Amino acid sequence: MLMQRLHVCAAIILCIARARLSFENQTVDNNVTKSESNDLKSVLNLVGNVTESLDTAKPDEDHTQAQRNASEDGEQMNKETHGAKPDCPPLGLESLKVSDDQLESSSYLSVGLGPHRGRLNIQSGIEDDDEYDGAWCAGVEDQEQWLQLNALRPTLFTGVILQGRNSIWSLNWVRTYKVQFSNDSSVWQPCMNGSEEAVFVGNEDLETPVLALFPEPLVAQYIRINPQTWFSNGTICLRAEVLGCPVPDPDSQHFSESESGSLDDLDFRHHNYNEMRKLMKSVNDECPNITRIYTIGRSYTGLKLYVMEISDNPGKHELGEPEFRYVAGMHGNEVLGRELLLNLMQYICRGYNRGNQRIVQLVKDTRIHLLPSMNPDGYETAYEKGSELSGWALGRYSFEGIDMNHNFPDLNNIMWDAQELAMDKKRVAPETRAVISWMQDIPFVLSANLHGGELVVTYPFDCTRDWIPRQDTPTADNDFFRWLATVYASTNLVMANPERRICHSEDFQQHNNIINGADWHTVPGSMNDFSYLHTNCFEITVELSCDKFPHVSELPIEWENNKESLLLYMEQVHRGIKGVIRDKDTRAGIANAVIKVDGLGHDIRSAVDGDYWRLLNPGEYKITVWAEGYFPRIRHCSVGSEPHATICDFTLTKTSQDRLKQILASGGKIPRDNQVRIRAMRMRKLRASTKILNHRREQQQRLNKVKRK
């Protein structure tokens, strides 16, 4: 539904027809001339050009010069800024860089519709009229209403992005508006277009962000957005972002510190598909001995799903070495994870080359797989619109409109209802299929799925029982999952900041920024649940930032916010117990042996070489291991608090088929048909292993029969 609402709507600057302003090239001038003859198409082209330049914004030396001149002399400013590329970044209403007390308004309809809610892409709670509504709405309906931003220092204001109210119950948006500037918030100067006051075109729907660039940018400290007309069946409501370049102020201590964000020399920008490939290639060239690029499949439109492997022996699984993965960009418009993974591969490569001990250790002991873009089709759609104009949902879904986080076989419901619900009927996206077979090919132990649009870490289950909208639905490994989530949340610099403002309508800080996925909102068919129920891999979801598509200027600081969390989380793969399960006589590893922890209803299976990993919190554990054709073995293993796994090897003695059957008949460990129902709750994992494991078992049995014959 959201997709339909988000039809393409370009910004039109009403007054542009008369604008003497030339932006950057001849094409633009032509467009302006044509638009004088009311050629709307040309105006749209012009806006298209401008939109592009916004997205590819780079630090611009000339601009700083223009600002200096501007602040010295108002007359001078117009000359200097004419022809300047309007590429000032958003001041941060969306990213929350602008604080609530920097926003004021002439009036407001209710507390939940106050000026602090007038932020681009802010999301309302489920009901209207609560504390967290979806816009600023004026309390009075006339043309004197305004939303005001105090930029706290002289700023060259270059434009505004406007959006309607986020609501499923009411329709409110502003159609046209004026803009005023002030240095002291008492004397106001209108935004001009030549000799006339500029009037800008705002919205025609609730969600599409519309950009307007000022014909005559101005340096000031305050800016007001002043609605003139609005949707006739609604009232004055808007969400906004303001574009501006802060003017350096040598006298102000507050702003004298460098704000660039990171000292790491990484490629901080948004990488589209081709740029991402190039960057991955360059990392591979820089670190050929520890990296390998491979693909796990293709998107619907044929873009490849690239993975960067990092290991001291790329391309091979080493006995006993755990496998880790990060997956980003499952929702194509939640782009921060993609950039963080590109940063991370560069950072690990360079750290390794420089001999950084922590990185060297990590690379030697772990096989790391980074998938920066699970939904490259969706990403390209969002990227085209750019960080400010892609809205809230554009690019979230696959090309076919599939939400991949609802697209994995829904094992929870199979498990709980003991029947295969819509699993076979469901259309599975090629991207989802690719990831599923990747999860089956590699014995992953730990993973995180990187999303955006909130600041919280969620752990499975993501799906409630019986279709309840939200309910705490823990796994058997709840304690360890809470540990994992806490590791990320408590080291992420934004989440860990007790002063931070909530993103939209939910206060996750009261839960230390972690929550059971199903307790937030139920998601049937999530990747986390599939991973836990169908494979040995524990996976959590990280919601990385309030803003799904942060402006390029935010990327260095976002890297710093997440760097330690990303590294520390990977290191958690070395917790619990691990070992190799071998045949006593041949010493060969035994694949597919079951590792059961007494008191925990979730079993792990050994990998092809007989090695296994069982993530556990510190404590004493009774471990039972069995495999088809062997006597079960029990060992006691203890896990300490140090971040390396306790080695717990097992050697199993072969038994005759008859002997095994006897053990099973006397209430042994392997569930048979009749025991399945009785033990349903305790043996969740085994039952949930569904089709493929059953299928494998059948194949194995058939093979055994063939061999016996």
Closest separation between CB of residue 334 and Zn ion, Å? 5
Least separation in angstroms between CB 676 and Zn ion: 35
Please check whether residue 276 is in contact with residue 372, taking contact to mean a CB–CB distance below 8 angstroms.
Answer: yes
Distances (CA, A) of 91 to 184, 308, 434, 522: 19, 34, 39, 35
Q: What is the largest CA-CA distance in the chain?
A: 98
* Whether the Cβ atoms of residue 438 and residue 504 lie closer than 8 Å to each other: no
For residue 326, what are the contacts with CB-CB under 8 A and spacing of at least 6?
Answer: 337, 341, 344, 368, 369, 370, 371, 447, 448, 450, 566, 570
- Measured from the CB of residue 396, what is the shortest distance to Zn ion in angstroms? 7
Contact predicate 300/431, CB 8 Å: yes
Of residues 66 and 429, the one with the C-beta less far from Zn ion: 429
Least Cβ distance, residue 492 to Zn ion (angstroms): 17
Query: Least Å distance between CB 404 and Zn ion?
Result: 9
Kind of pairing between the strands at 323-328 and 367-371: parallel
CB 239 within 8 A of CB 173: no
Alpha helix positions (H), 429-522: 430-441, 478-491, 517-520
Of residues 162 through 191, those in contact with Zn ion by CB under 5 A are none
Binding piece for Zn ion, criterion CB under 5 A, among 152-160, 324-332, 615-623, 660-668? 324-332
Pick the closer one to Zn ion by CB: 117 or 331. 331
Binding residue (CB under 5 A) for Zn ion from 239, 270, 317, 331: 331
**Whole-angstrom distance, CA of residue 588 vs CA of residue 50:** 65
Least Å distance between CB 527 and Zn ion? 11
Which listed range, 177-185, 230-238, 323-331, 564-572, lies at the site for Zn ion (CB under 5 A)? 323-331
338 lies in the binding site for Zn ion (CB under 5 A): no
| Residue at 655: amino acid letter | T
* Dihedrals phi, psi of 177, to nearest 5 degrees: -155, 160
Task: Write 483-487 long-range contacts (CB < 8 A, 24+).
Answer: 483/572, 483/617, 484/446, 484/459, 484/538, 484/540, 484/569, 484/572, 485/457, 485/458, 485/459, 485/514, 485/540, 486/457, 486/512, 486/514, 487/565, 487/568, 487/569, 487/572
- Binding segment toward Zn ion, per CB under 5 A, in 20-28, 208-216, 242-250, 444-452: 444-452
Task: Say if CB 341 and CB 271 are below 8 A apart.
Answer: no
Binding-site size, Zn ion (CB under 5 A): 3
Helices (H), 171-320: 273-286
**For residues 123 and 346, which CB has a smaller minimum distance to Zn ion in the complex?**
123
Q: Which residue is nearest to Zn ion (CB)?
A: 451
Return the SS3 of 45.
Answer: helix
Instruction: Give the nearest distance from C-beta 135 to Zn ion in angstroms.
Output: 23
Q: From the CB of 386, what's the least distance to Zn ion, in Å? A: 19
Distance between CA atoms of residues 63 and 554, nearest Å: 19
The secondary element (H helix, E strand) that includes residue 347 is: helix 336-354
Please pick, among 94, 339, 543, 558, the residue that the annotation labels catalytic.
543
543 tagged catalytic: yes
Q: How far is the CB of 537 from Zn ion (least distance, A)?
A: 19
User: By C-beta, is 331 or 369 nearer to Zn ion?
Assistant: 331
Q: Which stretch binds Zn ion (CB under 5 A): 30-38, 346-354, 446-454, 482-490?
A: 446-454
Q: State the DSSP code for 189.
A: E
Tokens of 175: 């159609």
Q: How far is the CB of 137 from Zn ion (least distance, A)?
A: 28
The phi and psi torsions of 453 (rounded to 5 degrees) equal 110, -5
CA distance 579 to 604: 12
Contacting range for Zn ion; rule: CB under 5 A; set: 145-153, 293-301, 305-313, 328-336: 328-336
Interatomic CA distance for residues 694 and 700, integer angstroms = 10
Q: Which is nearer to Zn ion, 334 or 554 (CB)?
A: 334
**Contact region with Zn ion (CB under 5 A), list: 22-30, 327-335, 365-373, 440-448:** 327-335
Choose the binding region for Zn ion from 113-121, 259-267, 326-334, 681-689 (rule: CB under 5 A): 326-334
Q: Quote the distance between the C-alpha of residue 118 and its chain's center.
A: 23
Pair of tokens at residue 203:
């919205």
Burial class (CB in 10 A: 0-12, 13-18, 19+), 593: buried
Determine which residue in the list 338, 451, 685, 687 makes contact with Zn ion, applying CB under 5 A: 451
Given the complex with Zn ion, which of 119 and 451 has the nearer CB atom? Answer: 451
Amino acid type, 396: R
Q: In the numeric block, which tokens belong to residue 554?
A: 């935010």
Between 80 and 529, CB nearer to Zn ion: 529
| Rounded least distance, CB 330 to Zn ion, Å | 6
Q: What is the dihedral of CA 576, 624, 463, 679, to 10 degrees?
A: -160
Query: Which of the stretches 333-341, 377-385, 524-532, 594-602 binds Zn ion when contact is defined by CB under 5 A?
Result: 333-341
Specify the residue, 106 or 387, whose C-beta has the smaller distance to Zn ion.
387
Please tell me the distance from the alpha carbon of residue 159 to that of residue 200, in angstroms, as a whole number. 10
Q: Interaction with Zn ion in 545-564: which residues (CB under 5 A)?
A: none
Question: Which residues are known catalytic residues?
Answer: 543
Binding site for Zn ion (CB under 5 A): 331, 334, 451
